[in-house]
Structure 1
Amino acid sequence: MSFADQIEWISETKGDGLGSDILSRNTNGTDRYIEVKATKLTKETPFYFTALEYHFAKHNSTNFFLYRVFNLTDRPKLFIANGAYDEFCNLSPTQFKATF
């Protein structure tokens, strides 16, 4: 079975909330978790992710990849980063959850 045959769009087949969009394979056969964030604007345009996505990336940092697709309306480009979000992004809290 080729690597292409092993790609699974897990957000489609298993639903959102698992921490990544796509399950693929690295060349050594290990899992590659891919989260895709796209924008019509530049790579630097802020994007958002959930606490679950943050923790998933942190726990699976070796095999977690962010695929940042940008400039969609003109000449689409792809930037790939490997690791937990805080290893390659500046993070700012934007939301809090409160309970009693």
Structure 2
Amino acid sequence: MYTKKQRSLALLICGVIFFITLFSISFIGHELNHNCTGEDCPVCACVHNAEQSLRQFGTGFSGAVSGAFLILLFLSFLPRALHFIPAASLVSHKVRLNN
């Protein structure tokens, strides 16, 4: 049996991993075409560290990108799906209105 403390710790760890993945992908995408200063470029070192952190999670760069794409795709269709949820009304519950 999982206790509430273990469950909240697991959710916290999942959230941290999600945000590390998300911010690593966004940093790599933002700094992809930077002006490199040469062999000891600090931006290239940061990009390399971000790629290494993505690889350590076991999904690699392409897996993380596809995961982020699926999440963004789901979030883009969510407002349209919520639009089609029927509203509860008296007619849908078949309530008879008498005068």
- TM-score bracket, shorter-length normalisation: under 0.3
**TM-score of the superposed pair, with normalisation by structure 1:** 0.25
Q: Which has the higher strand share?
A: 1
- Greater helix proportion: 2
